Structures are given as structure tokens and as C-alpha cells.
A and B are shown apart, each in its own frame.
Chain A
Amino acid sequence: MSGAVFERRRDIPLKRDASGRYLPWLIAVMVYLAALALVSAMAMTKVAGQWQSSLTGQLTIQVPAAPLADAETEEDNTGNEAAVNRVMDILQATEGVTAAEPMPLAEINQLLEPWLGVSDASASLPLPRLIAVTIDTEGRFDLGALRQRLRQSVPGTTVDDHQQWLGSLLNLAGLVRLVALFVVVLVGLSAVVMVVFVTRMGLAVHRQIIELLHLIGAHDAYVARQFQWHALGLGLRGGLIGLACAGLTLFAADHFISQLEETLLPTLSLQPWEWALLGLLPLIAATVTMLTARITVLHSLSRML
């Protein structure tokens, strides 16, 4: 292979083309959108993981309130307390349950403060009791059997393993991820179509020069090389601009999110490999641009004399 391959000939004056001025900006927009979509997908994956890990191995048992008539006859809601004790006994005897803790009455009163004010509502109102249970997911825990025993011992008791709403949330997170990846693919396809158009325009503008190169003995690959290296430069420049803009946007968004309190929004802290993937975007964009230009040129020239 001769050195000429590695020397950048400029037989076709592509740098003067209008495409050279606006293509990097279009690529920049594409990379910007792709970067944000990727970060969204990564953040959603992270949040879904956090939700899943925080709720896996957790059960919430709701013990029904004692009937009001009973409550009136007893001074301190002891009927309800007795039911809670029976449930606790069953839990302690259940294999795989590592911890169980009823929500303290004081905490229940505190939760009701926004509606009832400071009061001893739990003593005068028929309120259900909640028990937070931690189970060993690795162990032999039988949720069905526990439900059965609790229903028999304290009718009306419900066991919530959070899977129903967690499943919905995870489905939603998965959907958001899919949409984000679809956006990335769509952006990539748009970039390809754009580069095809720009390359064909370049072929039309420089048709005479290309014909001359052919008459002097140039293979199609020689012509394609000039287009592909030019496209690589434009793609890389556009990709870096897009990534820089995306970085600024993410920095601003992270700063904004960090100002919020008690938020459910995910933080934008990414893993090193995720940063690496974002950093690769300009290279990926440049490579796609280059290959698209090359294939377009070779395909178009194969139909010329």
C-alpha cells in the first residue's frame, strides 16, 4: 500500500461546498438528541433498579380496623391490637421472615395530622394497622402460605408485596427506555439519510472533476476516499459540538435536580462505562457519516460510465 493512501489529497474541493458548512451543525443536533435520549434511558434504568432493589424483600401487611362498636366498648383500640399480635405471632413462626415491625400508633397519628390536626386519632377511630415485614428472598419463603394463614387467623388481613404497582412502574420505565432507544435509532437513520443527500449533492456539484479523475484512471474507491475522509472530519466536528452541548445541558439539569428536595427524579450520576459510551458518540457519528458517504459514492459511481 502506497503512502498516497494516507496522504489527504484534495482533488475534489469538497471544503468549498455549502454542505461543509451546515452538515456539522446537523450532525451536532443529532448527537445532542442522541446523547440526551441515551442519558434518559440510562437514568430510567437506574431508577427502575433502585425501585426494584428497595422494594424487593419487603411486604406490607394491613390488619383491618376493629369494628367501631367494639372500639367504643374498649378504651384503647385493644381489639385491633390483639389482631396485630396474632399476626406478629404468625410472622415470627414463618420461615423466611427476617423482621416484622408494626407501625407505631404515634406514627399513625402523625400521618393523620394534616387532616385531623394533633390528636390521638388512633385511639378513637377504627384505623387499620400496618406491619412492615422484611423477608429473606434467598430463603424458603412461601407468600401464598402466609396469606392463607393470616386470612384464617385474622380475616380481612391483606398482604401487599408491592409487585403490582412495582410491575407497572417497571413496565413504564421499560417503555421510556424503549422510546429513548427508538429516538437514538431514529436520529441515527435521519443522520444517514442526511449524509446520503449531502453526498449525492456533492457528487452532482463535482461531477466534472470526478469524470476527469475517472478519465485519468481513478478507481471509484479513490473518489470515495476523498468523500469519506471529508465526511469523517465533518462528522467528528459536529459530533464534538453536539456532545459539548449535551454535556452543558446535563450539567444544568443535574444542578437543577439537586436543588429539589425529596424528589423522585433520578440523579444524573452515571457509571464510567456510561460516560464512555457518551464520549464515543462523536466517534460513532463520524464513523457512520464516513461509511454512509463511502457507500453512497460507490453506489452512485457504479452507475456512471
Chain B
Amino acid sequence: MVRFEEVALSYGEGPKVLEEVSYAFAPGSFHFLTGASGAGKSSLLRMMYLSLTPTAGRVSLFDQDVASLRRAERAEMRRRIGVVFQDFHLLDHLTAIENVSLPLAINGESDRTTRQDVAELLAWVGLADHLEALPPTLSGGQQQRIAIARAVITRPSILLADEPTGNVDDRIAIRLMYLFEELNKLGTTVIIATHNESLVAQFAHPVLRLASGRLTVERDFLGGTGAVGQMVEVPHGGEVT
């Protein structure tokens, strides 16, 4: 589903942010990605949603090397990926319901036909009374829930969430995690970057840790029904295949 092979990343002439990252996320798996602030979690996610190109190595999505994708193909691939951005990236001039329906509109679906579904999802995340509210009038937690609703509204094949519970209380955080698990049960591959160790401890999913630019498996599969990923073996000095 998502495969990193000997991936390295550095910004300009700066030091390497990621180094020799090799890991394959199996379809339908659920992973936590942890690490200290600045460890490269967001960079790893950005490569997964095609916002960043690795300095070295190969990133594959849906068995396709993303470097070989043409512009239109990248757009099509992005439609299969839901992203919860750390800073939400909501459009301030659009209402909550318009923000959430944005991926549907981009997919070519009419606002009229999708409005009911979008309203139900917003109600599920506790924003039934804020359908027409503009993001700047909402709290950080409420904005975060809009961002999450926007990421899952299309039932993406892959859900990438960057600190999705950073601005909500524990009760809402758990509720949102249940939402991600529900999606995962429907087949969505979920990767959540978070530094909330207590939250990670409450869910039985593999945990990957980024430290000093390197990715390690901190906790393997603890049970449940989800698939798991695995470290990718790359022949020393050889071409990744």
C-alpha cells in the first residue's frame, strides 16, 4: 500500500531529516508514528501525500513509484488519500459544511447531493450546531474536527493524520480514534503521527518511532484484526526493487 525503500530526505543543503527509511505499510493496517518534535514525522507523511519528494530512495503508493507519476496521475492518487493536516488547512471563507464537502466537489460530486452525508458526519464529530460556521469563529478543537471530517468524507484508501488529536480533550480524542478505527475496519490504511503517548498506549496498533532520522518498529502488532507492516529488506548497495 505504502512502501518506503532506502528513503532519505534533507531540506536544501541542511542535515538529513530522514535516513535509510525502509518500511512497507500493508493494506488495511493501522500504525502510530511517534517521535519527538522535529523528528521528521510530518515530513514522512508529506511524502506519503505527495507534497514532498525524497532526496534519495523510492516511495511507492498503491504499487506505483510516485516519482514516475504524471501530474494528472498524482491528482488521481491524492483523491485516494485523506489527510488531516497538523495546522488544519481549512479555508476560512468557507463554512464548516463547505470545507468538509470540498473533496467531494473536487471528485465531481454535487454539493446538493452530498450535503446530507456531510451534515451527518459533522454531527458525528460533534459539530451539528456549527454546519454554517466559518472556521475562524470556531475553537481549535472544532477546527480540527472539521479537518478530520474533510479527510474521511470520501472514505479514502489511506488516511494520514498529523497530530489529529492535538487540540481536543481526551474524550473527543478517544471518539476520533474510534472513528479512525471504524474506517480502518472498512479497509482504510491508517497512519497517525502523534506524540501523545498515552493515547497510543490505549490502542493496540503497531507503533513506529522516528529518532535521529531513522525509523524503527517500537511496538509490533498487539492483537486485533488489522494487518501489519514490515521493515523492507534492501540488498546492501543494490538497487531497490
Q: Known: A11-B94, A212-B89, A216-B103. Is A2-B78 also a contact (CB below 8 A)?
A: no
**Quick check: which of A165-173, A197-205, A217-225 contacts chain B, the rest being far away?**
A217-225
Decide if A13 is an interface residue (CB 8 Å cutoff).
yes
In whole angstroms, how far apart are the Cα atoms of A5 and B109 in the complex?
Answer: 9
In the complex, the answer to whether A216 meets B106 with C-beta atoms within 8 Å is yes
CB of B237, distance to nearest CB on chain A (Å) = 31
- Interface of chain B residues 91 through 108 with chain A (CB within 8 A): 91, 93-94, 102-103, 105-108
Give the residues in chain A near B81, CB-CB below 8 Å: 217
List the A residue with the shortest CB-CB distance to B90: A212
- Give the distance to chain B from A142, nearest Cβ to Cβ, in Å: 73
Q: Is B171 at the interface (CB under 8 A from chain A)?
A: no
Which B residues from 66 to 95 make CB contacts under 8 A with A?
A: 71-72, 75-76, 78-79, 81, 83, 89, 91, 93-94
Cβ-neighbour of A9 out of B71, B89, B105 (below 8 A): B105
A208, B93: Cα distance in complex, Å? 14
Are B93 and A10 in touch, CB under 8 angstroms? yes
Option from A2, A11, A13, A212 in Cβ contact (under 8 Å) with B110 = A2
List the B side residues contacting A209 at CB < 8 Å.
91
Answer whether residue B112 sits at the interface, using C-beta atoms and an 8 A cutoff. yes
Q: How far is the CB of A173 from chain B (nearest CB, A)?
A: 53
Q: Does B51 contact A (CB under 8 A)?
A: yes
- CB atoms of B107 and A217 under 8 A apart: yes
**B111 cross-chain contacts in A, Cβ below 8 A:** 4, 7, 9
15 additional A-B residue pairs with CB within 8 Å, beyond A3-B112, A211-B51: A2-B109, A7-B111, A9-B105, A10-B94, A11-B91, A16-B93, A212-B91, A213-B102, A215-B49, A216-B78, A217-B76, A217-B81, A217-B106, A219-B72, A305-B51
Taking the nearest CB of chain A, how far is it from the CB of B136, in angstroms? 13
Q: Chain A: which residue is nearest B72 at the CB level?
A: A219
Best-buried of A3, A10, A216 by chain B (most CB within 10 Å): A216
Chain A residue, CB-CB nearest to B83: A215
CA distance A214 to B113 in the complex (A): 23
Residues of B within 8 A of A (CB-CB), count:
28
- Which of B91, B103, B109, B113 has the most C-beta atoms of chain A within 10 angstroms of its own C-beta? B91
Give Cα distance in the complex from A7 to B109, angstroms: 10
Q: Determine the distance from Cα of A215 to Cα of B81 in the docked complex, in whole angstroms.
A: 9
Please indicate the chain B residues that have their CB under 8 angstroms from the CB of A10 in the complex: 93-94
- A302 interfacial by beta-carbon distance below 8 Å: yes
Interface residues of A in 1-37 (CB under 8 A from B): 1-5, 7, 9-11, 13, 16
Residues in A with CB closer than 8 Å to B105 are 4, 9, 11
Q: In the complex, what residue of chain B is closest to A219 when comparing beta carbons?
A: B75
Q: Contact size class for A?
A: 20 to 34
Contacts of A9 in B (CB 8 A): 105, 111
Residue-by-residue, is B105-135 near A (CB-CB < 8 Å gives 1, otherwise 0)?
Answer: 1111111110000000000000000000000
User: Is B109 within 8 A of A216, CB to CB?
Assistant: no
B: which residues have CB within 8 A of A?
49-51, 53, 71-72, 75-76, 78-79, 81, 83, 89, 91, 93-94, 102-103, 105-113, 150
**A213: nearest chain-B partner, CB-CB:** B106
Q: Are A217 and B78 in contact (CB under 8 A)?
A: yes
Give the contacting residue for A11; candidates B53, B102, B150; CB below 8 A. Answer: B102
Q: When the two chains form the complex, which single residue of B53, B71, B89, B93 contacts A13, counting CB atoms closer than 8 Å?
A: B93
A3 to B110, CA, bound (A): 5
CB neighbours (8 Å) of B106 from chain A are 213, 216-218, 222
Given A212-B89, A217-B78, A217-B79, A5-B94 contact (CB < 8 Å): no
Closest-by-CB residue of B relative to A301 is B71
Query: Which residues in A have their C-beta under 8 angstroms from that of B79?
Result: 216-217
| Whole-angstrom distance between the Cβ of B61 and the nearest chain A Cβ | 13
Contact pick for A4, options B50, B93, B110, CB 8 Å: B110
Which chain B residue shows the least CB distance to A5? B108
